[in-house]
Amino acid sequence: MKTTTKVMAATFAVGLIGLSAGHEVDAAEVKEEKVSVASLDQQSEKIDDADQQTGAQGGKRTDAGQQSEKAAGKNQLLLDASATYSSQLIEEKKTSKDEEVSSLAKEGADSEIKEESAKAEDKSEAKSETKATGESTGTEEGQSNSAQAAEDKADKKGSAEDKVGQKRLARSANALYASASAVSGKAQDTYPVPNKGYVIGNGEYVIASAVDKDQVLDIAGGNRDNGANVQLYRKNGSEAQRFLLTYHPEGYYTIRSVLSGRLLEVQYAGRENGSNVDVYERNETDAQRWILKKTSDGFYQMLNVGSGLFLNLAGGKTKNGTNVQVYQHNGSSAQKFRLTAVSEKAPGQVLENGSYYIAASGDHSKVLDLPAGNADKGTNVQVYDKNNTKAQQYRFVYRGNGCYSIYTELTERVLDVASASREEGANVQIYDDNGSDAQLWKAEFLGGGLYRFVSKLSGKYLTIRGTSLANGSNVQLNRLGAAGVQTFYLRRTADSQSNGVAPHQFLDNGTYLIASAMNEKKVLDIPSADGRQGANVSLYDRNDSAAQRYTFMYHGDGTYTIYSATTGRVLDVSGASRENGANVQLYDSNDSLAQRWKVDVTVDGYYRIISALSNKVLDLAERKTANGTNVQLWDYSGGMHQKFTLIDAPKVADAEDGVYEMHSAVNDRKVADLPGGSMEDGCNLQIYDGNGSRAQRFIFSKNADGSYRITSAQSGKVVTYDGGGQSGANVFLRENDDSVNQRFYLADAGNGRVWLLAAHNRAAVLDLFAADTRNGGNLQVCDWNGSRAQIFRLEKTDARSLADGSTYRFHAYNNPGQVVDISGASMESGANAGLYAINNTDAQRFKVQYDPRGYYTLTNVHSGKVLEVAAASHANGANVQQYASNDSLAQKWIIHEMEGGSYTFINMASSKALDVPEGRAYSGANVQQWSWNQNKGQSFVLSDVVWDNEDVNRNSIAYDEFKKLKHQDRFANAKKHLGIDVSKHNGKIDWKEVKKAGVEFAIIRVGYRGVESGALGGDPYALENLREAKAAGIKVGVYFYSQALNEREGEEEARYAVDVVKKSGVSLDLPVFMDYEYYTTTSGRLALAHISKDTATAAALAFYRRVEQEGYRSGIYASKSFFYEQLHPDQLHEPVWLAHYNTYTNYTGSFNLWQYSSTGHVPGIQEGKGNVDMNVWYE
């Protein structure tokens, strides 16, 4: 692909060949006597960078009255807390406690979130660890745990009246504590967004001891009341051992018992070691708030916000009944826990732990049953009509190796093979859990919710005798294929209530697409991503946009709030109606029943979504699935129009505003491209080999609605699709018109890749036609099909064309003596920009500042105002003026380098170019914007040196040859400035004498690459020359003698040159030049390597990139023949420094600086007798 633009930050190939004439290289340099940057100035002061390490040890807040409260007993503690909460805690909560919580929350956020894996542990090691950490009194920890045990016993004492008094005082204290929370700025629960302290996902978990994974937190006795105690007990899969963790944006979690819906808390808001842990109804106190921290060994610690103490197993024990309390941090295993998601399956586990009905596959109304609800040991198992009683509910607990224990919900007895029989027809009963093979069952998943169950003891299959499924039919074991029913349908149990929805969590918290069971390509959608209050909900083609994403958050009472990803508003029943046909909309959260929803799994595996207000279900109006079908509420009828599939939503991609290349997932080396680097309106978008050119760079700018505008960094035009974005619509570039056809949404396609969805029709995405990755393959929009041809990787790059922060004059290309000027040197916003003859004032100078979002701001040095298109107009002829900065796109410009080293300025708001009307560049001509048209009235030459107005001595010997020069016609109106370039070969220089001789600038060598081995070396006079020339009032630049054979070496040389400049402390006036030449045409590594023009040009571009990334301007030096034969000069931006020793040069390429002699004489250099290179700079 032919590209005529300069390539910044790209990877290009380069080549060279050159001229024997040029800068001198002596014998020592040929031998590669390397001089490092560090040795350039032996007298320079060495600066040692001392890294200061700061840190703070997180201490625990100490309550001044804690010891006295403890001595006085728990009642006194509570009385004191009640008396002081309204004053002390408000201030304390604002300071020390909030600081501690924030610190710990941040520490928790830094913990890596990993998936828990349940691994078998050596029992002897576990017992040993338990003894060492919990029971030994020979260690500090053992002593503390012994003390805990003693305190536990003491805390159990007290009359019933005392306990009642304690509870009343505690609730009073809690109320005051909640008031302190409000005063200190604590917000109510908001839409959860992962934030500080987020270390594990919301969901239902079993919380096991780190010492023994089969010993878990348990609500003692299955007690559902307030104050129910929390203990450790053997894992049995019951609801008493399941807890719902919910993250809150303030940085803490609440831990809710699935059994009762009550929250884990420190009892009576205790703050002392050994304070008990129970469950209690939600009261908004910090006693019910916990910060989770993941430990380095993969477990979790739980810090109570209210007390600053950690969840702890009393005495460090793990036996059944061990009390759970809080205690100061000691790092022991007694304070570490394993969190396992209830929905998480272990390796080999085909069925989630939980409570199920076990139904006959052919008739789901017939389920396994205990006759007359008899739960005695040895009770037979039969089949009976489903009646929703506990006698028909079985709890599956995975035991590893593919096996389960199956408990009846009536007791803790399990399904058992009578008498451990291996015979055909062996009976199935319930029996005390003894862990034998007669009580272990393997589940074989057959799909569609169907299972077979195999006895581990005999390998025979659970069977319903006979085929009639009559009530009372026996359940037994038979070989596979024997007569009877051997396949079963499992359905989760639900408490008997309206619509059969149980008060626990059927669906994990998360973000989902809600797809119709009638057609899963149709999902619930917010039309046009309308996030306003009252926005309607309807059905639409799936496109994975934010308008189709809903976050379900469970409340622990059987209900969810459903948030829309567009704005965070929630799904709401309009007008809180209980009628059939009630509309569903988005509304601000108010936590009413109109915004609460229950979720149930149907027999055929779909979901019903049920209003908690009316018990009516989400319903597709008129049973339709057409786009725009309304979503409403209706009585449940069992139809497919009332059933939905919940699909895990792909993550919404959110690209940072900036410049990107779009790489195809079909072939990552292929990228979106403008054919021939076209600037034309209507230019097609194609696929092409990546070459790093601006034609392959695109500026992504996020719109207010979450969509993106994609602007070419080459032309300033916007990626656009035809018509309404219908499948097959072409994609091309067009001036910005702010239409929906110029907007794309991003959706995460995984592995760092995205889909680009057409905003007009979000079912269509950017697509590589026929997945054709040949150069020139067309890009279009096409209906989403999930193929790689529709997936792209966005690679961050930039669109720099000028060094950031540099100051320039903008010369009219047709008349360089005329520059862009602010009329009357005005300081006011709205002052006009026009052309005016050069007068060296700051009203004609503009600071060019690059924005990482992909464009430049042009700030007038005199006024501090920025250039903009008046009124952000898109019209041709709109005026250009200066105005106070407001960060609007009308004040942002793409700077594009054209052939010949000129530049075009393209406005980001309009895609139009800075323009001199009809190209007539005269003093007083207006500056406007106009559609790009290749007219020279849209090209400007930049100069970054403001030459002094002082008189220059032109009578010294330095001007002997200068006066004989004949200049090309193109420089007839340009000012000519005399300069020199020097290296160590010129010896010690008297720069004050050089200044008196009329020399205006000097370009100083800072280093070289050896012409044989290629080692880098420094010029020993570089620092001295830079500092003293600058001090003498001479404008300075630098050069590096290059022998680069590739991009890596070009970048290496640039880095070396910049390091020297930085070490000097000198601010450069002129660029950092790459001096690219042969040692001779027949010797030296560069000449002998015979690299191509492409390779040499790529090395030069790499030099450019590195210099400009460091904040300096770059340029290139070469001979006339080297430019012609060994480089692509059209790819190398100005300034260009030409070496051609003559009184006239006929070089036809672009150049700004001419080295016309190597035999000049200048006072101050070897007493005016030694030779020095002479140069003229054209202004």
In this prediction, residues 1016-1022 reach a mean pLDDT of 96
Q: Phi-psi bin for 332: left (phi > 0), alpha (psi -120 to 50), beta? A: beta
CA-wise closest residue to 246 among 294, 308, 198: 198
Q: Residue 565 gets which letter from DSSP?
A: T
pLDDT at 948 over 70: no
Instruction: Look at residue 1021 in the predicted model and tell me its pLDDT.
Output: 97
pLDDT digits (tens, 9 = 90+) for 814-861: 888 899 999 999 999 999 999 999 887 889 999 999 999 999 999 999
Give the residue-averaged pLDDT of 1015-1037. Answer: 96
Q: What is the pLDDT of residue 648?
A: 78
SS3 for 1127? coil
CATH 2.80.10.50 fits 806-943, yes or no: yes
Transcribe 26-77 into DSSP letters. -HHHHTT----GGGS-TTSPP----PPP-----PPP--TTHHHHHHH-HHHH
What is the domain partition of the chain in residue ranges?
Answer: 66-341, 354-492, 505-648, 658-797, 806-943, 974-1178
More confident site: 918 or 510: 918
What pLDDT, in 10s, does the model give residues 1077-1131?
A: 999 989 999 999 999 999 999 999 999 989 988 878 899 999 999 999 999 998 8
Decide if domain 354-492 falls under CATH 2.80.10.50. Answer: yes
Please compute the mean of the pLDDT values over residues 960-978 and round it to a whole number: 91
91 pLDDT above the threshold of 70: no
Question: 309 is written with which tokens?
Answer: 């103490």
CA angle (915, 921, 925) in 5-degree steps: 75
Residue type for position 189:
D
Phi, psi of 612 (to 5 degrees): -70, -15
- Give pLDDT, residue 1147: 95
Q: Can you tell me the mean pLDDT for 716-745?
A: 91
- Tell me how far apart the alpha carbons of residues 1115 and 1110 are, in angstroms, rounded to a whole number: 14
Residues facing 981 on adjacent strands = 1003, 1173
Q: Among 77-86, 669-678, 749-758, 1134-1143, which stretch is predicted with the lowest mean pLDDT?
A: 77-86
Tokens representing 274 are 């050994």
Region 658-797: CATH code: 2.80.10.50
The larger pLDDT score, comparing residue 242 to residue 907, is at: 907
* pLDDT number for residue 685: 97
Q: Which of 2-6, 120-124, 1071-1075 tops mean pLDDT?
A: 1071-1075
pLDDT (tens digit, 9 = 90+) per residue, 976-1004? 999 999 999 999 999 999 999 999 999 99
| φ, ψ of residue 125 in degrees (nearest 5) | -65, -40
> Does residue 157 have a pLDDT over 50?
no
Using CA atoms, how far apart are residues 461 and 458, in angstroms rounded to an integer?
9
Peptide bond into 1020 cis (omega under 30): no
Equal fold, 66-341 vs 806-943: yes
Higher pLDDT, 706 or 929: 929
Q: What is the pLDDT of residue 315?
A: 94
Q: Determine phi and psi for 816, rounding to 5 degrees.
A: -60, -15
Q: Which CATH number fits domain 66-341: 3.40.50.2000, 2.80.10.50, 3.40.50.300, 3.30.70.20?
A: 2.80.10.50
Q: What pLDDT, on a 0 to 100 scale, did the predictor assign at position 24?
A: 56
User: Are the CB atoms for 489 and 450 separated by under 8 Å?
Assistant: yes
pLDDT of res. 725: 75
- DSSP string across 620-648: EGGG--STT-BEEEE-----GGG-EEEEE
pLDDT at 506: 63
DSSP state of 336: -
Side chain identity at residue 1058, one-letter code = V
pLDDT of residue 750: 66
Residue 547 pLDDT > 90:
no
**DSSP readout, 938-969?**
G-EEEE------S-----SGGGTTGGG----G
- Burial of 156: CB neighbours in 10 Å, binned 0-12, 13-18, 19+: exposed
Q: Where does the pLDDT of residue 1144 fall: very low under 50, low under 70, confident under 90, or very high at 90 and above?
A: very high
**Rounded CA separation 1033/1069 (Å):** 11
The Cα-based distances of 731 to 325, 678, 782 in angstroms read 65, 15, 10
Q: What is the pLDDT of residues 614-631, one digit of tens each?
A: 989 999 999 999 999 999
Mean pLDDT of the chain: 81
**Global confidence as pTM:** 0.44
- pLDDT tens for 461-515 read 999 998 889 999 999 999 999 888 999 998 887 532 333 333 446 677 778 899 9
Residue 435: pLDDT above 90? no
CB-CB neighbours of 728 under 10 Å: 13
Give the whole-angstrom CA distance, residue 721 versus residue 730.
Answer: 6
pLDDT greater than 90 at residue 317? yes
Q: Which of 397-411, 863-877, 1081-1095, 1112-1126 has the lowest mean pLDDT?
A: 397-411
Flag the least confident range among 180-194, 464-478, 567-581. 180-194
Quick one: pLDDT band at residue 93, thresholds 50, 70, 90? very low
Residue 690 has pLDDT above 60, yes or no: yes
Is the Cα dihedral 1097, 1102, 1108, 1114 positive or negative?
negative
Mean pLDDT confidence for 788-817: 87
Domain 974-1178: which CATH number of 3.40.50.2000, 3.20.20.80, 3.30.70.1230, 3.30.499.10:
3.20.20.80
Residues 252, 241 contacting (CB under 8 angstroms)? no
Look at residue 839 in the predicted model and tell me its pLDDT. 84
Task: State which amino acid sits at residue 909.
Answer: A
**Position 117 pLDDT exceeds 70:** no
Structure tokens at 1061: 């400049």
pLDDT for the residue numbered 496: 29
DSSP string for residues in 586-602:
EE-----GGG-EEEEE-
User: What DSSP letter does each residue of 805-825 carry, written as one string?
Assistant: TEEEEEEETTEEEEEEEEGGG
- Numbers of helices and strands, H then E, in the chain: 14, 69
The domain 505-648 having CATH identifier 3.90.870.10: the answer here is no
